[in-house]
Structure 1
Amino acid sequence: MSIVTEKLLPTLESQPAPSTIPLLDLKAQYLYLREEISRALQDVADSGTYVLGSRVREFEEAFAAHIGARHCVGVNSGTSALHLALITAGVGVGDEVITVPMTFVATTWAISYVGARPVLVDVDPVTYTMDVGQVERKITARTRAILPVHLYGQPADLAPLLEIGRRYGIPVIEDAAQAHDARYHGQGAGTLGFAGCFSFYPGKNLGAYGEAGAIVTDDDCVAARLRRLRDHAQGQRYHHDELGFNYRMDAFQGAVLGVKLRYLDAWTHARHRLAAGYRERLADLPLQLPTEACDLRHAWHLYVVLHPERDRLRCELEVLGISTGLHYPIPVHLQRAYSHLGYREGDFPVAERIARECLSLPLFPEMTAIQQDQVVAAVRTLLREDPV
């Protein structure tokens, strides 16, 4: 049966389209911060130091303090952060890393970059994060790391994963690319394992004005090696003791992130308020709504609902001027690039269901009550004939 009745469709199509509500609104955020951002960028331009330098160092120190880590090492992307974290954990050619199929592919790219093999386990049907109960039976003599993903801003269940890691001597590396300001039992996401990896891609909860990322760790030696690796493995200029990379964060991104970090708590609060609004007003509809696990703080990077007629619902929302997203419509094990792993459709039924049914509704800190009212009204109109 169609989501929209035959009677309702002509009515929708005959109405003038309302103002489009974006999935996120980076321009609104920029306009609010424009003066501060302009001053910070001008300071960098005047300094003549455009790569690393004091602005990056100041941001690293502030971000580490914000989430409760000893060290933060800024790099040029979240993908690079994952790559370097795996290298410093000792993962290499022929090794295995346990992770999930429901993630952005950068998680597994990093595993492939070091010559290791992604070994996948399904995700939990409620939290959408790594199903801890499946992990131990996937451990082999080649397993060198466990890489949970804090998907959509929900921290994975880290305590049992860390215990498994301790028993087997396997480091846990957190993919916290979507989990800025998330908390696990009071501790900052990204700070509990061997290392935590963040992305500052513009659309993230803490986003740069270009590409940027970071690794956080409490280990002094790991942090020192990360700083060398990101800068062509230079401990001393023009001395290279191992294979290094040009993964440095540029100073302009450090300056932007330094300004925006001061607002992250307020933005996280706004995301929680919006998520609560959706939960309260959509709870009676035939949607699976996201949850916030007990004793955790969700970062609400995305508000992802599940519906069996996702594609139709998405198209009809577009007619009403509501932008949505798909995070992510093809799980890793069904990507052509990973066909060599030998997985098939049906191997990870929970991840596959999420991929088929997921729909990200607009959610961003600058979203107004009127905008959320419009989204809620549209969803209710499309999913029942008596919207309230």
Structure 2
Amino acid sequence: MRLVSTKHIKPGATLGQTIYNDNGMILLQKEMCLSENILQRLIDQGITYVYIEDDETKDINVEPAISEKLRKEATESVREIFSEIKSDDLLSNSFILDKEEKGLMAIVNRLMEEINHHEESISLLADIFLTDDYIFQHSLNVTIYSLAIGSALNLSKKELSELGTGAILHDIGKAFIDPVVLQKPNKLTDEEFALMKEHTTIGFDLLRKQSSVSSVVAHCAYQHHERLDGSGYPRGLVGDEIHKYAKIIGVADVFDAVTSNRIYRDAMLPHEGLEILYAGAVSLFDKQMVEAFKKSVAVYPNGLTVLLSDGRIGVVIKQNKNLCDRPYIRVIKDKNKQMITPYELDLAKELNITITACNVE
């Protein structure tokens, strides 16, 4: 399969990966022929990249980071928690999360297990959804990325469990933000942004009242928008005043936000999202955590067409574990952009060759 921008796909191409809605229902089946109308619908829905079948890359394997069954169950669990909390009185001494604790912990533990058994670096581009409520998929994606970072940092099982719970609930305060503001397709006004920022404090106040929720989990909701240099919110904390879980979730949150499909802007590719993290390393994000993230995530996903520094063009076919910016490449065009008999190149060994551009023809 090949990963291609929906704006560059020609009608008649064959879809390589099934596309779901956020309830896990199939909307477009794998192997469906993509008509002009279907392609336009994908673009209109904010789907920036999809996998298509391709003779040169039909043997390239793209595995989801977690199983379809677990993703559906986890998303539904987050949806139910948000829905129940939203229908409850925010000011009451609510114990909704107390009764949901076992199910939530089971979800986090299963996510940890599947991530640890995933043979390649994590890529969520294989999981394509048409969603009316971004927040549920975002909460799950941030949890997956956070657990991957935590594992790379050698956190204990107990720490990973706390981190995962904090990540899956980090945006719980958004249940009480006006949907008009939450889903606004263009830039927020100063007043709307001030309202949006309140989700951190609302989430903290809610979580700290739950007898089954630890203080560090509540602080994940409170601090995930804090930044090392004090430029974050709600308290402008600096450096080690920010809990390490919140620092990890902050990295995962930004990466997923910029690499997710949204109707009002194109998703960035993973290497572009990583560049944003590196640009903020030291001043905004903990550099050690950004490095751990880089080890865990497929910066150049399988199926992506890339331009090499010597002018050759190839397709990413496999990842080098812990060397996510140095994948295996199937070279398909020479320096003159002429088709050739494909051959394999391992960028972990060819250190003088780098990837200089993506999604090239």
- TM tier, smaller: under 0.3
> Bigger radius of gyration, 1 or 2?
1
TM-score, normalised via structure 2 length: 0.27
TM-score (ref. length: structure 1):
0.26
